[in-house]
Amino acid sequence: MHELSIALSILDIVRDTCAGQGCGKVEKVRVRVGKASGVMTDSLLFSFDCAKSGTPAAEAALEIEEVPVGGHCRDCAKDFTVDEKYVMECPLCGGADFTIDKGHELEVVDLEVDE
Q: Does 19 bind another protein (CB under 8 A)?
A: no
Q: Does 38 bind another protein (CB under 8 A)?
A: yes
Q: Does 64 bind another protein (CB under 8 A)?
A: no
Q: Does 109 bind another protein (CB under 8 A)?
A: yes
Which stretch in 45-53, 55-63, 64-72, 80-88 sits in contact with another protein by CB under 8 A?
80-88
In the β-sheet with 78-82, what is the strand arrangement from edge to edge? Answer: 78-82, 69-73, 98-102
Please, which residue, 82 or 113, has the CB nearer to another protein?
A: 113
Name the helix (H) or strand (E) containing 48: helix 41-51
All residues at 6 or more sequence positions from 9 whose CB lies less than 8 Å from its CB, including other chains: none
- For residue 9, the SS3 value is helix
Which residue of 31, 41, 52, 103 would you call a contact of another protein, by CB under 8 A?
A: 31
Q: Are 26 and 112 in contact (CB under 8 A)?
A: yes
Query: Would you give the distance in Å from CA 21 to the centre of its chain?
Result: 23
Q: Does 21 bind another protein (CB under 8 A)?
A: yes
Name the DSSP letter for residue 60. Answer: P
Which stretch in 47-55, 60-68, 75-83, 103-111 sits in contact with another protein by CB under 8 A?
103-111
Please tell me the number of Cα atoms within 13 Å of 45 on its side-chain side: 10
Instruction: List interacting residues with another protein (CB under 8 A).
Output: 1-2, 6, 9-10, 12-13, 17, 21, 23, 31, 36, 38, 85-86, 88-89, 96-97, 106-115
